[in-house]
């Protein structure tokens, strides 16, 4: 998986939205909001499919929490994603 480090400065509306996404609990960290925004842009422009995005979120959650899901649960969730896509 590719890795890129980015240093950005947000002002005005983007900074406010960025902070509120974390304050309201939509995301647990500010970097997570930026990652999600980039993935959403990837979906919008057809670079990433919703299924790929869901798997990326699942992998991120596993890394963040250390929680492992039983294989049956992962397969069940994957089947649901396939029918949505």
- Please state, for a pLDDT cut of 90, what percent of the chain lies above it: 21
pLDDT of residue 62: 75
CA angle, 68 as apex, 84 and 31 as ends, to 5°?
75
Under the banding of pLDDT at 50, 70 and 90, the label for residue 14 is very high
Q: How does pLDDT run across 23-59, given as a tens digit for each residue?
A: 998 888 899 899 888 888 888 898 877 777 777 777 7
- What Rg do the C-alpha atoms of the chain give, in angstroms? 15
- Check: CB of residue 61 under 8 Å from CB of residue 67: yes
CA angle, 31 as apex, 50 and 66 as ends, to 5°?
75
* Helix H or strand E encompassing 37: helix 30-44
- Please state, for a pLDDT cut of 70, what percent of the chain lies above it: 82
The pTM assigned to this predicted structure is 0.58
């Amino acid at each position: 998986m590719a890795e890129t480090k980015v240093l950005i400065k947000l002002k005005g509306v983007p900074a406010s939205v960025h902070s509120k996404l974390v304050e309201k609990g939509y995301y647990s960290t500010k970097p997570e909001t930026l990652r999600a925004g980039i993935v959403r842009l990837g979906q919008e422009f057809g670079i990433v499919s919703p299924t790929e995005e869901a798997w990326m979120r699942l992998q991120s959650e596993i890394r963040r929490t250390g929680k492992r899901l039983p294989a049956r649960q992962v397969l069940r969730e994957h089947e649901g994603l396939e029918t949505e896509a």
